[in-house]
Chain A
Amino acid sequence: MELWVGAFNLGLLYAFMAMGVFITFRVHDFPDITVDSSFVTGAAVTAVLIVAGINPLVALGLSFLAGACAGAITAFIHTRFNINGLLSGIIVMTGLYSVNLHIMGKSNIPLLDRPGIVSFAGKLNPGMAPEVWLGIVFLLVVALFWLLVSLFFMTDFGITMRATGNNPTMAGSTGVNVNAVKMMGIALANGFVAVSGSLVAQYQGFTDIGMGIGSIVFGLAAVIIGESIVRTRSVYGKVAGVIAGSIMFRLMVALALYAGLNPIDLKLITAVFVLVILVAPKLITGEGIGRVPLKKRIRRLIPARKFSIGLIALFCVAVIGSSMYVLVSRGLTPGKKKVTIGVVQLSDTGLLNITRDSFLDEMKRLGYEEGKTAIFYVENAHGDMATVNSIIDKFLVKKADIVVPISTGCAQAAINKIKDRPVVFATVANPFIIGAGKSDTDHMANVTGVYGAAPVDTLMELVTGIFPGPIKIGCMWDPSQQNAVYNADRLRSVISKNRNVAFVGATVTGSSEVYQAAVSLVGKGIDAIVLPPDNIVFSAFESIVKAAAARRIPIFISDVERLQDGALGACGYDYASSGMQAAKIVDRIIKGEKPAAIPFEQYKKLTIGINSKVAKDLGIEIPREVLARTTVTVGDDRIGLPGSAAKKTDSRPRRLALFVFSDSYVLKLVADGVMDELKKSGTLVRYNIRVDLKNAQNDYATAQAIIQDIVRQKYDYLITASTLALQVAANGNKQIPHIFGAVTDPYRMGVARSPADHIPNLTGVATFQPVESTIKAMRAIFPGARRIGIVWNPAEANSEACTEKARAAATQNGFQLVERTVNSTDEVRDAVAALLAKDIDLFFTSGDNTVILAFATIAALLKERKVPYFTNDPTDIQRGAFFSIGADYIEVGVETARMAEKVIAGESPKDIPIKDYAPEKIGVNQDLARLYGVKIPEHLLKKAAVKK
């Protein structure tokens, strides 16, 4: 779902750009390639202004103006100097790249958690899935845009602009300054493109200097697809067609991804598709479609038009066909009658997750396999009751045969809504207060399930066992939830029987109020917090721990899973048995039994647990008789809970996505390291984990789509390699535990402020190039050297960071760093030659991908002048570097995998600090040392792993 909605939303945001391309290409007959850069200009201006604290709407307006200026310059060059339009576009596009870099000041600006139009819209969400809500907002905005643009095209000026493009001679003869109108048109078009860039940057959460590449081709594809699906001569229709074309294009990309087509081929397919559509009419008529009289043109275009429509149809059929093929081969197509089961849980709390997982596992054990014999819709309302209702609606739309609500809240919504098919609830405290029945056997005809009131009496026995004296306990609950009220009442009645215990209550109306309530309870001088089941309160358990920690107050809770999160004691039912029992009931119903005839079942298996680490931290001695009763102890060792023990023997494979941004050598090493470690440690086998490798092929839109796909498929874990992969994933995924590696500086990317203070669902390994050690080694080898030459590309964020480090390290070690910057690989040779003319003693390349591509050229130039070449990659030694200290990227991968293993074993990424890890590996070229007559100090030579 996220995939399709995400693609739809991207299509809407890119519609502004498609509109710009429509104006240049269709109105002015001028395929303006400036858009590739003005798209980034819009994103850059917005990013810089938002970071500077300017209102995002103002930023959007200024982005429009910046884009319009770029377009005006292109049009000026084109009309004033009579230079071919395409050429003018290329000139401005190229120049604008540098301007964009200047605007941004660096190659990548993260906007994560910055105020923006998109995040503002997100905050107004009345409770829909965030992507769906954004889709509605975007749709409204684009609809307004559609109306305004259509109306504009029908004003005096708009009609003049269209006529200018359609027949410039005639426009000129009626007194239109054709060049001026063209200039305004191209400016307007690029303004729209910049707006698109601005919105996309805010949506994806960052601006990157490379994000505009290929925009023109996408825009053309959108315009052409739009013309073929909306075929009308009305202005409204044409403008709508452009928007529809943009959405269609994005959906096609999503479909191709969904079907598993290789993203490598996407660009090629798009390019060929656009090319054929553009060229086909010319091939048929044998000439350009520019200045041919229209009557002939129409006549000629008729076969061509049919031809292009045919091609579009062929393209669609090919994409849809191959998608269907893949789907069929996966066995997802409807075949014989499968039973459809909708599972909904209220929130992401542990006991509900256990219930769900054990239910699904048991169903599988009973022979109901996803896709083959059954279809499962497994949904999570994330604590929102409105969502529960829409999820149940979805089940009805999808014609679910049986609905399984997990938790009291879901059960209540389900039995209210569903009267015509079986409902089997699980993990419900008291089905009678929600009106599901009067007794275990006398209940609603279509409803049955598994329930059990939480053992609050046993929980209180645990509390009084540890605190035998008079104590004051605090409790909080959400009064809007029947079961929470019920449980709180039961706790109160248990307490009222014990004169030593005083009760302080607090109510909340949502998980966001939990922290406040906990603080107020703590402020009232309580000795312990006791929490009976309440899904809303439980979902904000971390904030209670935080509030309680301030006064070192212990927490008791009726969910054993929460022991690990900081509770002292817990007592609850084994919710896995709840899911299993529910599955057995579902099986009986599928086999023909009537729900009315199946009595409600209670679960009985009790678990009592203590977190000994928390006990130690709080200085609380646990009495031996209490310990004797516990079935679980957490804290000393890894001996797990029944829940996690069950997970270890999980039959459902868990899925891990290993996401790399491109095919580069370094990222391959990292991916290899990750896989080696995961295999060697036995993690994959022990936890039954399947790894899927995802590669974005160096393309931002593809990366975006891949992340949306990973989120949609609900992967259990995500490992990313490379800075850009981290950035895209951090923005697109807020739930799946995410471990990153091969990232130079995560702090600069906005995902973390310090190693411990980072986005809760992610952590990882930061690897800085060992720039300082390299420069230290330079000093050790060449005590008399003075000047280090360095060539770097300011568009590369990593390279920028490395150069900054090199500047500092050079000064510290008494060197002077002589810099030259380049924008592309072909400029490297001249830059190196220029540095050699400046009498450099040494030459250094750190993590710069542009420069390293010219390695052979550099090495040859330097060897000729006997200037030693230092790099940060020991594999360079074989190719002619003199000395290298690099990070061992296989080791980086291994370290990343080790961190992932912690998460897989149950630790929360939130609690794992980001690790700075740069395993140093030294390479020495002794051939060159001899040639240059240099003695390498023994201590460095000894450590060298690579020698030549």
Chain B
Amino acid sequence: MISSPALDKPGSRAMIELEEVHKRFNAGTINEIYALRGVNLVIGEGQFVTVIGTNGSGKSTFLNMAAGTILPDTGTVRIAGEDMTRKKDYERARSMARVFQNPFMGTAPDMTIAENLLLAYLRGERRYPRFGLNAKRLEFFKERVKELEMQLEDRLDALIGTLSGGQRQALSLLMAVIKEPKVLLLDEHTAALDPKSAAQVIKLTKTFVERGKLTTLMVTHSMQQALELGDRTIMMHQGQIIDDIPKAEKERLTVDDLLDKFADLRKTEKLTDEIIEQLRREYV
């Protein structure tokens, strides 16, 4: 197992810490899946980390563990130094926001753009029965939606359900960052989009993360994205972190180098030819 490297930026504090985290699904049945096998990871404040891995490698479980939608069997999860191991997702949402892979997951379809944004805008606040969409808030939302460059700023009262996947995902992203969370979790958030929308969403992601200096954990299917974005890339396989590539090394690597890294695993009997082929198909 490869241990986590030291924090990239000296002096900055740890934002996400996972310590000896284990997770089994359907424990004790023939369908038992050992999803995380002792994961240790420290992500510093302001770091942008990309995560890649084979199918079933545990990268999604890993992200959900950080988000709080899945709680670990054993181990500790700390966010900004605070022990959050047993905290539910809504209790973590004060400091943490997330964009789902499925554009339909991150928005309420039968409600308007403005109402969805309001919901995100109230992140970490008390939700009083006072009139929600006042002129001031609407003006603010309009400004922010303009940044998406999707011509949605004049359609704030359109139902989300009537928008395209790309538009919805861009809004999901905006909803995640509108209150500048400490941690941003991106779960293959461009995987379901067409190339043009995906490019726009990636561009927005970069802008928002840089502007807010957000600590970001991004799971991705695209090795290209993994290499281009972020300060650090983590490779996962069979519930473990098998490689942790710092920024300096990333700049030198190509997609083929990454594939070779997976090929090396084959030599240690960890990967079958089939999986290599699958990776080649999916990633290249």
Beta-carbon contact of A160 and B89 below 8 Å: no
Beta-carbon contact of A160 and B122 below 8 Å: yes
Beta-carbon contact of B128 and A178 below 8 Å: no
Interface string of B86-125 (1 = CB under 8 A from A): 0011100110011010101111111100011011101110
Write out the residue numbers on chain B whose beta carbons fall within 8 Å of the beta carbon of A163.
Answer: 108, 111, 115-116, 119
- Asked whether A176 and B98 contact (CB < 8 A) given A159-B118, A163-B116, A233-B159, the answer is no
Interface string of A283-311 (1 = CB under 8 A from B): 00000000001110110000000000000
The 8 Å CB contact of B111, one of A155, A156, A166, A297, is A166
Beta-carbon contact of B128 and A155 below 8 Å: yes
CA distance A3 to B94 in the complex (A): 57
Write out the residue numbers on chain B whose beta carbons fall within 8 Å of the beta carbon of A170.
Answer: 100, 105-108, 119
Write out the residue numbers on chain B whose beta carbons fall within 8 Å of the beta carbon of A294.
Answer: 104, 109-110, 160-161
Beta-carbon contact of B132 and A155 below 8 Å: yes
Beta-carbon contact of B132 and A154 below 8 Å: yes
CA distance A861 to B247 in the complex (A): 87
Beta-carbon contact of B131 and A157 below 8 Å: no
Write out the residue numbers on chain B whose beta carbons fall within 8 Å of the beta carbon of A297.
Answer: 109
CA distance A177 to B131 in the complex (A): 20
CA distance A171 to B93 in the complex (A): 10
Answer yes or no: A173 CB below 8 A from chain B CBs: yes
CA distance A163 to B107 in the complex (A): 9
Answer yes or no: B10 CB below 8 A from chain A CBs: no
Answer yes or no: B130 CB below 8 A from chain A CBs: yes
Beta-carbon contact of B104 and A293 below 8 Å: yes
Task: Identify the interface centre among B88, B90, B98: most chain A CB within 10 Å of its CB.
Answer: B90
- Asked whether A175 and B123 contact (CB < 8 A) given A154-B133, A166-B110, A170-B108, the answer is yes
CA distance A321 to B148 in the complex (A): 55
Answer yes or no: A78 CB below 8 A from chain B CBs: no
Beta-carbon contact of B89 and A172 below 8 Å: yes
Answer yes or no: B15 CB below 8 A from chain A CBs: no
Beta-carbon contact of B111 and A162 below 8 Å: yes
Beta-carbon contact of A174 and B130 below 8 Å: no
CA distance A162 to B123 in the complex (A): 16
The 8 Å CB contact of A293, one of B102, B108, B124, B133, is B102
Beta-carbon contact of B131 and A151 below 8 Å: yes
Answer yes or no: B127 CB below 8 A from chain A CBs: yes
Interface string of A111-136 (1 = CB under 8 A from B): 00000000000000000000000000
The 8 Å CB contact of B106, one of A154, A160, A173, A233, is A173
Q: How many of B's residues come within 8 Å of A, CB to CB?
A: 39
Beta-carbon contact of A173 and B67 below 8 Å: yes
- Asked whether A157 and B127 contact (CB < 8 A) given A175-B94, A295-B161, the answer is yes
Beta-carbon contact of B98 and A173 below 8 Å: yes
CA distance A151 to B131 in the complex (A): 8
Within 8 A of B (CB), among A227-242: 233
Beta-carbon contact of B119 and A174 below 8 Å: yes
CA distance A162 to B129 in the complex (A): 13
Beta-carbon contact of B109 and A166 below 8 Å: yes
The 8 Å CB contact of A167, one of B69, B108, B165, is B108
Write out the residue numbers on chain B whose beta carbons fall within 8 Å of the beta carbon of A152.
Answer: 129
Within 8 A of B (CB), among A133-172: 151-152, 154-160, 162-163, 166-167, 169-172
Beta-carbon contact of B130 and A156 below 8 Å: yes
CA distance A162 to B130 in the complex (A): 15
Within 8 A of B (CB), among A359-382: none
Write out the residue numbers on chain B whose beta carbons fall within 8 Å of the beta carbon of A169.
Answer: 100, 105
CA distance A176 to B90 in the complex (A): 6
Answer yes or no: B235 CB below 8 A from chain A CBs: no
Answer yes or no: B18 CB below 8 A from chain A CBs: no
CA distance A30 to B107 in the complex (A): 20
Beta-carbon contact of B89 and A173 below 8 Å: yes
Give the Cβ gap from B122 to chain A, nearest Cβ, in Å.
6
Answer yes or no: B175 CB below 8 A from chain A CBs: yes
- Asked whether A159 and B104 contact (CB < 8 A) given A174-B120, A175-B123, the answer is no
Beta-carbon contact of A154 and B89 below 8 Å: no
Give the Cβ gap from A189 to chain B, nearest Cβ, in Å.
16
Beta-carbon contact of B89 and A159 below 8 Å: no
Chain A interface category by residue count = 20 to 34
Beta-carbon contact of B123 and A167 below 8 Å: no
- Asked whether A156 and B123 contact (CB < 8 A) given A166-B111, A175-B93, the answer is no
CA distance A176 to B92 in the complex (A): 10
Task: Identify the interface centre among B89, B102, B105: most chain A CB within 10 Å of its CB.
Answer: B89
Interface string of A678-722 (1 = CB under 8 A from B): 000000000000000000000000000000000000000000000
The 8 Å CB contact of A156, one of B69, B118, B124, is B118
Which B residue's beta carbon lies closest to that of A173?
B98
Write out the residue numbers on chain A whose beta carbons fall within 8 Å of the beta carbon of B130.
Answer: 155-156
Interface string of B62-97 (1 = CB under 8 A from A): 000001010000000000000000001110011001
The 8 Å CB contact of B97, one of A154, A158, A173, is A173
Give the Cβ gap from B175 to chain A, nearest Cβ, in Å.
7
CA distance A170 to B107 in the complex (A): 6
- Asked whether A156 and B128 contact (CB < 8 A) given A167-B108, A173-B67, the answer is yes
CA distance A293 to B93 in the complex (A): 23
Beta-carbon contact of A156 and B127 below 8 Å: yes
- Asked whether A295 and B90 contact (CB < 8 A) given A158-B129, A166-B110, A173-B67, the answer is no
Beta-carbon contact of A171 and B108 below 8 Å: yes
Give the Cβ gap from A167 to chain B, nearest Cβ, in Å.
4
CA distance A170 to B109 in the complex (A): 11
The 8 Å CB contact of A175, one of B90, B129, B165, is B90
Which A residue's beta carbon lies closest to that of B109?
A294
Beta-carbon contact of B89 and A156 below 8 Å: no
Give the Cβ gap from A226 to chain B, nearest Cβ, in Å.
16
Give the Cβ gap from A513 to chain B, nearest Cβ, in Å.
51
Task: Identify the interface centre among A151, A155, A178: most chain B CB within 10 Å of its CB.
Answer: A155
Write out the residue numbers on chain A whose beta carbons fall within 8 Å of the beta carbon of B100.
Answer: 169-170, 173
Which B residue's beta carbon lies closest to that of A233?
B159
Give the Cβ gap from B250 to chain A, nearest Cβ, in Å.
29
Give the Cβ gap from B180 to chain A, nearest Cβ, in Å.
14
Give the Cβ gap from A187 to chain B, nearest Cβ, in Å.
14
CA distance A298 to B119 in the complex (A): 23
Write out the residue numbers on chain A whose beta carbons fall within 8 Å of the beta carbon of B88.
Answer: 172
Which B residue's beta carbon lies closest to that of A177?
B90
Give the Cβ gap from B173 to chain A, nearest Cβ, in Å.
13
CA distance A172 to B100 in the complex (A): 13
Write out the residue numbers on chain B whose beta carbons fall within 8 Å of the beta carbon of A172.
Answer: 69, 88-90, 93
Give the Cβ gap from A620 to chain B, nearest Cβ, in Å.
76
Give the Cβ gap from A627 to chain B, nearest Cβ, in Å.
81
CA distance A420 to B159 in the complex (A): 57
Write out the residue numbers on chain A whose beta carbons fall within 8 Å of the beta carbon of B124.
Answer: 175
Which B residue's beta carbon lies closest to that of A175?
B93
CA distance A181 to B155 in the complex (A): 28
Task: Identify the interface centre among A152, A167, A176: most chain B CB within 10 Å of its CB.
Answer: A167
Write out the residue numbers on chain A whose beta carbons fall within 8 Å of the beta carbon of B128.
Answer: 155-157
Beta-carbon contact of A159 and B90 below 8 Å: no
Which B residue's beta carbon lies closest to that of A157?
B129
Within 8 A of B (CB), among A174-232: 174-178
- Asked whether A159 and B119 contact (CB < 8 A) given A170-B107, A173-B97, A295-B161, the answer is yes
- Asked whether A156 and B106 contact (CB < 8 A) given A151-B131, A163-B115, A173-B98, the answer is no
Give the Cβ gap from B159 to chain A, nearest Cβ, in Å.
6
Give the Cβ gap from A148 to chain B, nearest Cβ, in Å.
11
Q: Which 8 A-B pairs have the closest CB atoms?
A: A175-B93, A294-B109, A166-B108, A293-B104, A167-B108, A157-B129, A155-B129, A163-B108
- Some 11 contacts from A to B, beta carbons below 8 A apart, are A156-B122, A156-B128, A156-B129, A163-B119, A173-B97, A174-B120, A174-B123, A176-B93, A176-B127, A233-B110, A294-B104
Besides the known contacts A157-B128, A175-B90, A176-B119, 20 further A-B residue pairs in the complex with CB atoms under 8 A apart: A155-B128, A155-B131, A156-B122, A158-B129, A159-B133, A162-B110, A163-B115, A170-B107, A172-B89, A173-B100, A174-B119, A174-B120, A175-B122, A175-B123, A176-B93, A176-B127, A177-B90, A233-B110, A294-B109, A294-B161
